[in-house]
Copies of this chain bind each other. A is one copy, B any other.
Amino acid sequence: MATLPLLDDDTAGAEARAVFDDIRAKRQTDYVNNFWRALANDPAQLQQVWDRLQRVMAPGALDPLVKELIYVAVSVANGCDYCIHSHSAAAKAKGMTPEMHAELLAVIAMASQTNALATALQVPTDDRFKS
């Protein structure tokens, strides 16, 4: 169903397999999900995305759960079905409660509604919002 085959340890090259192994080690699971197996058709891209993702999603000024909530929100607005599923699951794994999930959805719905209204009305930006 993907536009490129999903590679597993047998069909992926050595470079991609090394990334698979790193994913397994860092995530402490045997499972490598489909996104990485599709990306493995281009090992350099696979490596770049995996490296970057670890850096971006690491604890920092924002905690990892907040980062996952933001990730889900962007994925919903961009209509990426795969990403909505995978990052909603990741958010739950990182501690998103049903109450948090409900509030996340409410904010996404609210923003989508007012985004459409501000765009439809072509509201000019207030001077005080310009930095």
CB of A74, distance to nearest CB on chain B (Å): 4
Cα-based distance from A60 to B97 in the complex (angstroms)? 12
The answer to whether A108 and B103 have CB atoms under 8 Å apart is no
Minimum C-beta distance from A118 to chain B (A):
4
Answer yes or no: A117 CB below 8 A from chain B CBs. yes
A56 beta carbon closer than 8 Å to chain B: yes
Question: What range describes how many residues of A lie at the interface?
Answer: 35 or more
Q: Does A94 have its Cβ within 8 Å of any Cβ on chain B?
A: no
Taking CB atoms, residues of chain B closer than 8 Å to A61 are 97, 99-100, 102-103
- Name the contact of A118 in the complex, choosing from B57, B66, B82, B125 (C-beta under 8 A): B82
20 more contacts with CB within 8 A, not counting A42-B102, A57-B110, A83-B111, are A1-B122, A1-B130, A2-B131, A3-B84, A6-B124, A33-B129, A45-B105, A45-B117, A49-B113, A66-B66, A74-B111, A76-B116, A77-B77, A77-B78, A78-B112, A79-B79, A81-B125, A82-B123, A85-B122, A105-B120
